[in-house]
Chain A
C-alpha cells in the first residue's frame, strides 16, 4: 500500500475555498495504485491532473511514476492552484500548477504529448447556474446530470493523450457513465476499461479509464 500524501499543512480554513479530499478522491487514488504496473511501464514524461484541488491525486501519482516526469495541474480556482503547489512542496514533489479553465492554453502545443491524465470533476447534479457560483461550488456543482464540466473536457482528451496514454475519470451513476463510454469509444476511438467502483453513502462512484491505442 502506498502512503496517502501528507496533507498536514492544510487546515479547515484552506478547505473553505478548496475541495477537501473525500471518498471520490480516494477511489481515484486506489485506482491509480491498482493500475501502477501499467502506469510505470508507460514511463510517463508528462502527467496532468485537471481540477487538482488540494493536489492530493497528482502527488500520489508522482509516488508511482517517480521523478522522471513533469507534473502539470490545472484548476479554475486560483486558491486550489496555490494549495496544489504547497502540497507538492510538503511532499517534495515538483508540481507545475496552472490556473485555467480545463486545459485552456495547453493545446495545440501538447497534442499527443500527455501520458497520464486524471480528472475528478465537479459531478453533483445541480442547476446550471450553480456551476462556478463560488470557488467551493466549482468543486462539486456539475449542472445538468452533473455532466456539464465533464462533457466539455471529452473532446480534448484524444488530442492530448500520447499513443498508449490513458485518462482516468471519476464519475457517479447520475452522470450516466455509459453515455460517456459510448462517446469516448465511438467518437474518439479510445479504449475503455472500468478500473473501480464503490458505493459511498448514496453515491455509486466509478473510475473509468480511456486509453489511446
Chain B
C-alpha cells in the first residue's frame, strides 16, 4: 500500500465519527519503489489529497516534514519530494489504527484489510 492510498482510507466502524482519519500506521515495514517522476501528475493529484493528513502521517513516520498547509506554489523540489512520498513509499506489512475507536486494520502482503466483523458494521 502506497501512502497515496493510505491518504484515501478512513475508519468506517459504525458510530465512529471522530478522529477517524488519517489512520495511524504502526509496526510497519516499508519497501522503496521506483516510479517515473511526472510533475503534472503530482500537481493534478493535489486537489484530491488530504494535505493535513499527509503532513501528519509523513511526520509521524519520520519521512518528511511538510508544511502544515498546502503551499500556494510548489517548486520542483517540493514536487519531487511529494512524488517520492506518495508513489515510492510502499508499506508491505503492519497495521492502521483508528485514533477515534482504536479499531485495527491490518496490512499484509502490501494489502490493507478494511473488512469489519458483523457487529462493527
Contacts and interface: CB of A to CB of B under 8 A. Distances in A.
B70 interface: no
Interface string A175-199: 0000000000000000000000000
Contacts of A99: 111-115
B9 A109 contact: yes
A104 interface: yes
Interface in B91-108: 105
A81 B111 contact: yes
A101 interface: yes
A198 B58 CA distance: 49
B44 interface: yes
A68 B48 contact: no
Interface residues on B, range: 20 to 34
| Majority-rule SS of B interface residues | loop
A172 interface: no
Contacts of A106: 8-9
B44 A109 contact: no
Interface string A81-119: 110010000000010111111001111111001000000
Contact of B10 (A45, A101, A105): A105
A72 to B, nearest CB: 7
B52 to A, nearest CB: 12
Contacts of B7: 109
A82 B9 contact: no
Interface of A: 43, 45-46, 67-68, 70, 72, 76, 78, 81-82, 85, 94, 96-101, 104-110, 113
Interface of B: 1-2, 4-5, 7-12, 21, 33, 35-36, 38, 40-41, 44-45, 48, 50, 87, 105, 109-116
Task: Give 6 closest A-B pairs by Cβ, nearest first.
Answer: A105-B114, A100-B114, A96-B5, A68-B41, A99-B113, A81-B111
Given A70-B4, A106-B9, 8 more contacts: A45-B44, A70-B5, A72-B5, A81-B111, A98-B111, A101-B115, A104-B116, A105-B9
